[in-house]
Structure 1
Amino acid sequence: MAQTGTARSETPPAAAEPRQRSVRVVMAGLLLAMLLAMLDNMIVGTAMPTIVGELGGLNHLSWVVTAYTLATAASTPIWGKLGDMYGRKGVFLTSIVLFLAGSALSGMSRSMDQLITFRAVQGLGAGGLMVGVMAIIGELIPPRERGKYQGMIAGVMAVAMIGGPLVGGTITDNWGWRWSFYINLPIGAVALAVITVVLHLPKKKPDGATRIDYYGAGLLTVAITSLVLLTTWGGTQYAWGSVQIIGLLLLGLAALAGFVLVETRVAEPVLPLRIFRSRNFSLISVVGFLVGFTMFGAITFLPLYQQSVQGASATNSGLLLLPMLLAMMIVSMVAGRLTTSTGRYKVFPIVGGVLITIGLFLLSMMDVHTSRTTSGLYMAVLGAGMGFIMQITMLVAQNSVEMRDIGVGSSSATLFRTIGGSFGVSLFGALFSHRVQHEMAARLGAKGSAAIGTGAQLDPKTIAHLPAPVKDAYFHAVAAGTHQVFLWGAAVSILGFLAALFVIETPLRGATPEPEDATPLPESI
């Protein structure tokens, strides 16, 4: 039977096997690099209490995470553009070296200020790692064959989220917190060696007249920084209506407007606005933003519910998400292979959007009596939905841009998901805190509000020493807070489902090499 709209590889069978072996070796190096970027935050999070105990600076604790996240988000589009301009391999190797340098320096930190600074260096490298992996896959493997390889990325995410806290706790208890950073060095060295020796991509020689878009990069960095800080500080460090938050919002909007103006006038924009003329690219960016919004919100509040209400151990917090992450990993790999074998992909984000909405709605029904088995089944539904969408969004984004823009296409897809996650955690956090405070006050009056102070989250040790009536009220309050979070998450996820409905299933480019200036198949706008 003929396959409409799909291209077949013209690679001779004799040459196919050596090429496949080479791709598998390169993929091993790429997956190690991705593991570095994703595992780091999970490991360091477990070590933070020990770090604060030795270095002090409890009031700067949040900046250890914020500096890394901020640097990663701000540098993501710039790494993508540099790869497009100067070649993928050199830029990617540079990001690995930068990440390893930041890791080594973080491990040698003697004060909290030093640690925050070096974590920012790490974050700069991490931005290049994540974009570099996706862009190299995009350049090395045609979209028609790419699904099965991108499914492996979901596996790396699951390994990092499950194993990170366990590895971090083991390292901190036995070797000391500094090895939470030093452990990156041998892993990174292997990735660096594999990529250096095995990866072969065409070298690019940019036109001598080409100039880096410094103004655009600067304005984009200011806009991203403002948005990330706004969502990080809003409702926690500062009130939503405070001068600081309003100022960040105005600064972000002004920088964004200036960025758009600059990008329409420069010869080589850091983020070409032409990529948004593709209907599929714009729609899948919205889907990615909303997936990040709901996914990171779920990952943040599920362990809190299970540790507080269900009495699970914080030490095994990674295992609490096992049903969701395993479902996400398995479904992502299956969806990737089906995409490779059939060339069809539109159905996956649609089905994923439905399952995410159902999963979040089911999670909103949890209360103080919900068993771990029941909540695990609900999480598996949510994880399956994420698995259908996570890597397909990147595949559609890359297939919707020209090959010369594969780097900025990959970085933009990553950036939208990151910003979505930042917004999700912040807004869901505000909803959760408000509901918990309201429930505690409703059940215990002023005594209830005083019991949890100005926050809405108590650690397990504090909960264990609460009087029985206060503890019971707190469990009900946390259950009510998670109900609110997941119910709103389900409502937001409907928008992602609607956006996926309008994606046009354009044929995936096949294995036959295309001209450098080849354009994607046309889409109706």
Structure 2
Amino acid sequence: MSSTEVSPIEHGKIEEAGLETANSGTERAFLTGWRLHFTTLGIVLTLLLINLEVTIVSTSLVAITNELGEYSETSWIVSTYLITYMGFMILWSKFSDIAGRKFSFLATVFIFTAFSGACGGTRTMNQLITCRAFQGIGGAGGYSLSTLVTYEMVPKSKLPLYGAVNAASVALATLLGPLFGGLVNNHTTWRWIFYLNLPAGVCVMVILFLTIPSGFPDHTSSNLRKQRQTLRVTLQAMKRIDIAGGILMLGGSLLLSSALLETSLRFGWSNGGTIALLVLSGACWVLFFSWEWFISRDRVPQEPLFPWKFVHDGPWKGMLITTLFAGVPFNVIVVFLPQRLQIVSGQSPLDAGLHLLPYTFGAAFGAAISNALGSKRRLATGHVLLLGAALQVLGLALLSTSPTNNVFPSKAYGFATIAGVGMGMSFGMLVLATPWMVDQEDLSVASGAIIQFRFLGGVIGLAIATSMLNARVKTHLANILDARTLSALFERTEVLETFSPTVRAQVIHVFAQEYNLQSYVMIAFAAVQIVVVLVFWNPKWAARDLIQ
């Protein structure tokens, strides 16, 4: 018997433990029975919690800034979370290759839970922004490892089913986040949107600890013996983590976001500070890709966060660029639509959350459609991506026609639904197709990258949208409000209620006009996805039997 085969006796032990061998030629084992069911539950709850944090805050931003002040810093509450959320996804995936999936998964949930409590206890805006950054580090690992463990716990033939379950969890979080945020703000302090993660996070950690086998996914008896024998060289293996690449990626993202966000608040485009931030950001990205090229040539022990083979893989490169551009409009709508409904239409946080449901439900429905189309082979991967992008363009174009007064017409919720369905279809298919687009040895990096690039797009989109809104609103309101009143408005938006009806109508008109302009810009990012899919079209995307 070869060293890679499982003996009948050992196979029996594996089955008794709730495991099933991956195939007859390897010792990789899939989960079955109670382990599979409860691990799935743990993954679903993890995805639900960490994705709630992206949307639950959206309806709470006005309440947070009215208590802590500094409305102009609103986007940092979301962007800081997304920057670390985005920046650490691949790092966690690579770390789990060395420290193990189970330990890494538990560590991510612990960090997320601990700093959720810290966010709830903050007393200043700077404290909240800092704690959100650390919360995002934990959330990044939770998302990427949930996806990676799903890829490894069942055969590929079952991935459409479990991918659909995960997509439903993410969609449900997107759906319920604004609603929960509105409920919390209507009945108690905004701090409970963070405190509620404490008992939920502990529950998730217990489930994952009890159900994920030690050594997963190589948890057969002989593999565990090998792992114990090599435990002493773990510190040596830590050198494989591409820390330099992670720092450069974070630096590039943070500096670019800072330049875009702060330009409209404190600097101008010609200011030396803005120019310095943009130059440093560009330098970080150049150094990042140069470093990834260098270490991909096996000259150093680090394993690249972005293997250079990705650059030469047309279909995979196209998927990464597509998810980057899709992330831009998705996050902008989630954050700014509730703000529009509260500031312009005067709705409560709860009503704003309820009226965001058509968009988030559309995203959930779109993700379900893409998984159904993929699993039944009714439509090719490339066709789903084209359809998703086309629906985004249509929905955003219609949404940009909203009136520039305090009325948000009922038909606009239908427009938001169309855009949401398009977003969900794109995201669902991109995640589902990933295991078929890369080699098995690159799966951990790829599973993090497909999500990481989406949130990189979200960070860039929020920075662009915030910069545009703040700069243009300040310019147009300078002729309506005096400098002191304008400053007070950007500190706390509740000041709007003290204005006379005439002035309030003028201010609302300016805000509504700029929110529509955001939609115009988002149309461009949606349309670029169509171009990308057509440019990188490949037989891999066209094969109807890709997802089996």
Same fold (TM over 0.5): yes
User: 1:284/1:219 Cα in 2 relative to 1: closer, same or farther (>3 Å)?
Assistant: same
Indicate the residue corresponding to 1:19 in structure 2. Answer: 32
Matching of residue 279 in structure 1 with residue 308 in structure 2:
no
CA shift, 1:489, in A, is 1.6
Greater Cα shift, 412-421 or 302-311: 302-311
Distance in 1 between residues matched to 2:533 and 2:547, nearest whole Å: 23
Partner SS for 2:151: helix
Residues 486, 65 of structure 1: alpha-carbon distance in 2 compared, 3 angstrom cutoff? closer
Match 1:467 to one of 500, 504, 521: 500
Structure 1 partner of 2:339: 304
- C-alpha displacement at 1:375, in angstroms? 0.5
Structure 2 match to 1:347: 383
Considering only aligned residues, what root-mean-square deviation do their CA atoms show, in Å?
3.6
SS in 1 for 2:381: coil
Deviations 1:408-451 (A, max 9, x none): 1122122211121111122223333455456557xxxx235769
Q: Is 1:498–2:526 an aligned residue pair? A: no
**SS of structure 2 residue aligned to 1:407:** helix
Residue ranges of structure 2 left out of the alignment (5+ in a row): 1-21, 25-29
Q: Distance in 2 between matches of 1:388 and 1:510?
A: 15
- Look up the match of 2:284: 255
Q: Per-residue deviation at 1:104?
A: 3.7
- The 8 Å contact of residues 229 and 248 in structure 1, kept in 2 or not, is answered as yes
Aligned residues: 495
Deviation at 1:498, TM superposition (A): 1.6
Matched AA of 1:419: L
1:403 equivalent in structure 2: 440
The equivalent residue for 1:28 is 41
Q: Is the 8 A contact 1:162 1:318 kept in 2?
A: no
Report the CA distance between 1:147 and its aligned residue: 3.3
Is 1:229 aligned to residue 242 of structure 2? no
The 10-residue stretch of structure 1 (496-505 or 432-441) with the greater mean CA deviation from structure 2 = 432-441
Q: State whether residues 82 and 459 of structure 2, in contact with CA within 8 Å, keep that contact through their aligned partners in structure 1.
A: no
Task: Report the CA distance between 1:10 and its aligned residue.
Answer: 8.7
d(CA) in 2 for partners of 1:121, 1:255? 22
Return the letter of the residue paired with 1:103. S
Distance across 2 between alignment mates of 1:247 and 1:174: 45
What is the distance in 2 between the residues matched to 1:83 and 1:165? 32
Distance 1:118 1:160 in 2: 21
Partner of 2:15: none
Cα distance in structure 2, aligned partners of 1:104 and 1:459 = 25
Mapped partners of 1:57, 1:368: distance in 2: 25
CA distance in 2, matches of 1:295, 1:272: 27
In structure 2, C-alpha distance between the alignment counterparts of 1:459 and 1:135, rounded to whole Å: 42
Q: Identify if the C-alpha distance between structure 1 residues 352 and 468 changes in structure 2 by more than 3 Å, giving closer, same or farther.
A: same
Matches within 5 A, 1:42-441: 42-43=55-56, 65-107=78-120, 115-168=128-181, 170-171=183-184, 179-200=192-213, 201-203=216-218, 210=237, 211=239, 212-263=241-292, 264-265=294-295, 266-267=300-301, 268-342=303-377, 344-368=380-404, 371-437=408-474
Percent of pairs identical after alignment? 25
Partner of 1:447, secondary structure, is coil
Q: Is this contact kept in 1: 2:489–2:495, CA < 8 A?
A: no
Q: Which moved more, 1:460-469 or 1:325-334?
A: 460-469
**Structure 1: runs of 5 or more not aligned:** 1-8, 12-16, 512-525
The match for 2:5 is none
Q: Is the 8 A contact 1:46 1:168 kept in 2?
A: yes
User: What amino acid maps onto 2:384 in structure 1?
Assistant: F
2 CA distance for matches of 1:438 and 1:57? 19
Return closer, same or farther for 1:32/1:483 CA change in 2, 3 Å cut-off: same
Shift of 1:386: 1.0
Separation in 1, partners of 2:69, 2:521: 38
Distance in 1 (alpha carbons) for counterparts of 2:465 and 2:74: 21
Q: Is the alpha carbon distance of 1:398 and 1:357 closer, same or farther for their aligned partners in structure 2, counting shifts above 3 Å?
A: same
Provide closer, same or farther for how the CA distance between residues 24 and 304 of structure 1 changes in structure 2, counting only shifts above 3 A. Answer: same
Q: Is the CA contact 1:161–1:318 (under 8 Å) kept in the aligned structure 2?
A: no
Q: What secondary structure is seen at the aligned counterpart in 2 of 1:321?
A: helix
- Which residue number corresponds to residue 516 of structure 2? 483
Amino acid at match of 1:483: N
Please say if residues 310 and 368 of structure 1, whose CA atoms lie closer than 8 Å, have aligned partners that are also in contact: no
- Pick closer, same or farther for the CA change 1:260–1:107 going to 2, 3 Å: same
Deviation at 1:122, TM superposition (A): 1.9
For residues 164-200 of structure 1, the C-alpha deviation after alignment (integer angstroms, 9 at most, x for no partner) is 3443455567675554433212211222222222234
Shift of 1:347: 1.6
Partner of 1:522: none
The Cα shift of 1:226 comes to: 2.1
Deviation at 1:300, TM superposition (A): 2.8
Paired residue for 1:515? none
Letter in 2 for 1:323: P
Contact 2:59 2:339 in 1 (8 A): no
1:457 to 1:358, Cα distance in 2 relative to 1, 3 A: farther
- Work out whether residues 84 and 408 of structure 1, in 8 Å CA contact, stay in contact via their aligned partners in 2: no
Q: Is the 8 A contact 1:436 1:480 kept in 2?
A: no
TM-score, normalised relative to structure 2: 0.79
- Mean Cα deviation higher: 283-292 or 187-196: 187-196
* Distance change (3 Å), C-alpha of 1:58 and 1:307: closer
Stretch of structure 1 that moved more, 494-503 or 84-93: 84-93
Superposed displacement of residue 49, structure 1 = 7.2
AA matched with 2:396: L
Corresponding residue of 2:9: none
| 168-177 or 467-476, which deviates more | 168-177
